Structure 1
Amino acid sequence: MTTLQSRPAPPTAIRPRVVARTGLYALLAANAVIVAVLFADAGFGSNALILIGRLAGLYGALVMAFQLLLVARLPWLDRRIGMDRLTSWHRWTGFTVLWTLLAHLVFITFGYAQLSSLDPVDQLVDLAETTEGVLRAIVAFALIVTVGAVSARWARRRLAYETWHFIHLYTYLAVLLAFSHQVAAGTTFTASTAARAYWYTVWGTALGAVLVGRLVLPLWRNLRHRLRVTAVVAESDTVVSVYVTGRDLDRLPAAAGQFFLWRFLTPGRWWQANPFSLSAAPDGRQLRLTVKTAGEGTAALRRIEPGTRVFAEGPYGAFTTLHRTRPDSLLIAGGVGITPIRALLEDIEGHAVLLYRVTAERDAVLYEELSELAAAKGAQLHLITGPADPDLLAPRELARLVPDIGDRDVFVCGPPGMTAAVLRHLRDMGVPKRQIHFERFSLAG
């Protein structure tokens, strides 16, 4: 089999993910310093417990605003970091918010109880009744505790996404209540014009980012492109491809490897958003998604009529060639995880090797066109069939199939168990972390 001549590796001095991550860290650190300066400028007072409580509340507010930025779905951040990593960071910062606000509540209550000689419960009731904004803060904290409880892994697994998402929306109400408490009762907020300007800027930026990324940009793109289904093609008994077209698709900033949140505007389905990756590189004329039946929602895709309007949020994801560090690539796919890998194979430059892992040949979705595409690109395609045990993608097998694996970028997409095992094998084989690319294609949470 002939191969394409390898092209020079793309620049690796400054990697996009490192730039974005460093920028986020620097932004958070700079704001943490500003909060400390404004806190000191407001004066310390004489009660240590109240002092600690105030500082905890300020940092809780800062992290809450940062949390909103992480899930604003801003294209610049999403392309460089990926929705899966951003939402994972959002989840962990959420627990930071919970603990800092709990510290704020406890230390403030016990501090004022020391001054008034009331017991902590009576003191909290007294603050809620006599101090403007405190009752709103207590309600906000209760909402955050509720959202945190349903976001715990044991609860998240037991809830439908729509239920979890509906409860999660109360976070925005908690944010507004917390901010109103800060305006009414925050000592640092009321201490100076500079402090007020700073906190209005922080909250305005965070809420504005959410409004733009989650509402304005999707609405604008859908009004501009007016997407609709043009064809539904059964690839097998359990897999279907949906072709979508629209206006000015050459101006839609989608890349091979990315995904959209798709809403097909039919009765009973318009409110369901499903994350499906593109199974072909965008060509400016149409988009294609290929889906395996995994429930009633995905099974219904077979019955969608051509002409059906589509509302698509995205594109999302960092599983693209933007993050390449080497001239040659290894693509590893399992099952229907072949869909973004197939799009990447079409788009990728340099020599590529594709390992496609399925249980049986009949499960190899899009295999015929993969073979044609591999031949046209001068790529090597290996179909690996068999049961999960033994591991046919173990280090020895990977080294046999791809002897120069350490000199390639590796893109991995498949079922969670397979993906985790392959990532572990790549680390054991000494493949540098910067050359390993993967993404979990799912909704936030």
Structure 2
Amino acid sequence: MTTLQSRTAPPTAIRPRVVARTGLYTLLAVNAAVVAWFFAQAGFASNTLIVLGRLAGLYGALLMAFQLLLVARLPWLDRRIGMDRLTAWHRRTGIGVVWTLLTHAVFITFGYAQESSMDPVNQLVNLAETVEGVLRALVALALLLVVGATSARWARRRLAYETWHFIHLYTYVTVVLAFTHQVAAGTTFTASPAARAYWYTVWGVALGAVFLGRLVLPLWRNLRHRLRVAAVVPESDDVVSVYVTGRDLDRLPARAGQFFLWRFLTRDRWWQANPFSLSAAPDGRTLRLTAKASGAGSASLRRIQVGTRVFAEGPYGAFTTLHRTRPESVLIAGGVGVTPIRALLEDLEGHAVVIYRVATDRDAVLYDELRDLALTKGAELHLVTGPVAPDKLAPRELVRLVPDIGDRDVFLCGPPGMMTAVLRSLADLGVPKRQIHFERFSLAG
């Protein structure tokens, strides 16, 4: 293979992911301080349990609003952090929401029971019957516990995505009920006009972000670009590429390595969205996705007719050249995970080494394209075949293929098991985490 003799200038040292993450942490910390200040301004109850319960409720509300922001799919955040990481933060924040609101309910109930000499159960019933908004809060908490239970890993594996997503939509009902409870019974609302304005702003921004990112932006982009299927090309017995065209695609902010949630508006599939990466760098005229028949949604792509209307949400993902830290790179693909890798190779500058891991030569989807593209770009291409064991991407093998791997950015995409093994190998080789780029398809409601 030929290699490039000249090296591009090193990418900027300012890491977009660090900037976005720091911004989110700062936003949460500042709001936590503001909540504490308004809480102190409202005055304290004589009962310690009630004081702690009210504070837990306020922080639960703040975390719930922050949780909405994380899954609003705002382009600025998604391009810098990635939907998979934002989803993981959303889940961890959800655990915090459940525990803070449970603490709020328990402490408030026991605190008032202590003052009234009632048992906790009767006290809770009394609060629900006499205090406006408490019954709504109890319904919201029950819904939140159901959503949380179905989001646990053991339950998530047993539920179809559509079922889980439908249940998850009740989170928005929970938000509305929790907010009306806060308006009706929250001491900060009654104690200070400034606090009321603050909480209305917090909830308005959170819900507005969801409305903008999940509804307005996808609708606007699809109305503008009017996507349609231009061609359906079988790549092998179980792999197919779909070419999509539309208006003004040069203004669609898609980058190599990103993915869309695709809805092909046929009679039997219009309601189902599937995440597929772009398998070629966007050229302003056509978008291409390549998928393997691993489920009903991907298997049906082969039957899609040319001219079928397409509704695409996105582009999503931080698996792009935006996050490069080194002038040279390694791209490691496994199976159909080659699709974003192939697109990235087209977009990358500087010398690249491509490692394509498959079971057999017949499984090497888009290999001819990769070979031609590698030749054009002056990249090295290694096709690694064979069974899973022994591990052919173990540390010793990676160093043999790429002796200077520690000085390169590593882009990785493939089946979960392979990705886990390669990440372990990279850690054993001491490749800095900031140079390792990967993304998993992970959707949040």
Which TM bucket (shorter chain)? Answer: over 0.9
Could you say what secondary structure the match of 1:144 adopts? helix
Q: Distance in 1 between matches of 2:365 and 2:345?
A: 15
Asked whether the 8 Å contact 2:263–2:311 carries over to 1, the reply is yes
Q: Distance in 2 between matches of 1:268 and 1:124?
A: 48
How is 1:313-332 mapped onto 2 (pairs within 5 angstroms)?
A: 313-332=313-332
Per-residue CA distance 1:332-362 (angstroms, 9 max, x = gap): 0000000000000000000000000000000
How is 1:306-317 mapped onto 2 (pairs within 5 angstroms)?
A: 306-317=306-317
Q: Distance in 1 between matches of 2:269 and 2:144?
A: 30
Show the counterpart of 2:363: 363
Could you say what secondary structure the match of 2:26 adopts? helix
How is 1:31-430 mapped onto 2 (pairs within 5 angstroms)?
A: 31-430=31-430
Show the counterpart of 1:7: 8
Per-residue CA distance 1:84-118 (angstroms, 9 max, x = gap): 00001001100100000000000000000011111
Asked whether the 8 Å contact 1:72–1:214 carries over to 2, the reply is yes
Q: Distance in 2 between matches of 1:312 and 1:72?
A: 16
Could you say what secondary structure the match of 1:118 adopts? coil
Q: Distance in 2 between matches of 1:393 and 1:245?
A: 38
Provide structure 2 residue ranges, at least 5 long, that are not aligned to the other structure: none
Deviation (angstroms), 1:444: 2.4
Between the aligned residues of both structures, percent identity stands at 81
Per-residue CA distance 1:243-287 (angstroms, 9 max, x = gap): 000000000000000000000000110110100000000000000
**Partner amino acid, structure 2, of 1:7:** T
Q: Distance in 2 between matches of 1:115 and 1:240?
A: 69
Q: Distance in 2 between matches of 1:298 and 1:326?
A: 35
**Partner amino acid, structure 1, of 2:117:** S
The count of aligned residue pairs is: 444
Deviation (angstroms), 1:442: 3.5
Asked whether the 8 Å contact 2:39–2:188 carries over to 1, the reply is yes
Q: Distance in 1 between matches of 2:331 and 2:295?
A: 28
**Partner amino acid, structure 2, of 1:287:** L
Asked whether the 8 Å contact 2:276–2:289 carries over to 1, the reply is yes
Q: Distance in 1 between matches of 2:76 and 2:434?
A: 20
Asked whether the 8 Å contact 1:259–1:276 carries over to 2, the reply is yes
Asked whether the 8 Å contact 1:277–1:441 carries over to 2, the reply is no
Could you say what secondary structure the match of 2:2 adopts? coil
**Partner amino acid, structure 2, of 1:189:** F
Asked whether the 8 Å contact 2:15–2:323 carries over to 1, the reply is yes
Q: Distance in 2 between matches of 1:320 and 1:424?
A: 22
Could you say what secondary structure the match of 2:7 adopts? coil
Could you say what secondary structure the match of 1:283 adopts? coil
CA RMSD of aligned residues (A): 0.6
**Scaled by the length of structure 2, what TM-score is found?**
0.99
Deviation (angstroms), 1:26: 0.2
Asked whether the 8 Å contact 1:259–1:441 carries over to 2, the reply is no
Provide structure 1 residue ranges, at least 5 long, that are not aligned to the other structure: none
**Partner amino acid, structure 2, of 1:6:** R
Q: Distance in 2 between matches of 1:403 and 1:330?
A: 11
Could you say what secondary structure the match of 1:441 adopts? coil
Deviation (angstroms), 1:380: 0.3
Deviation (angstroms), 1:189: 1.9
Show the counterpart of 1:442: 442
Q: Distance in 2 between matches of 1:45 and 1:207?
A: 31
Deviation (angstroms), 1:123: 0.4
Asked whether the 8 Å contact 2:87–2:442 carries over to 1, the reply is no
Deviation (angstroms), 1:441: 2.1
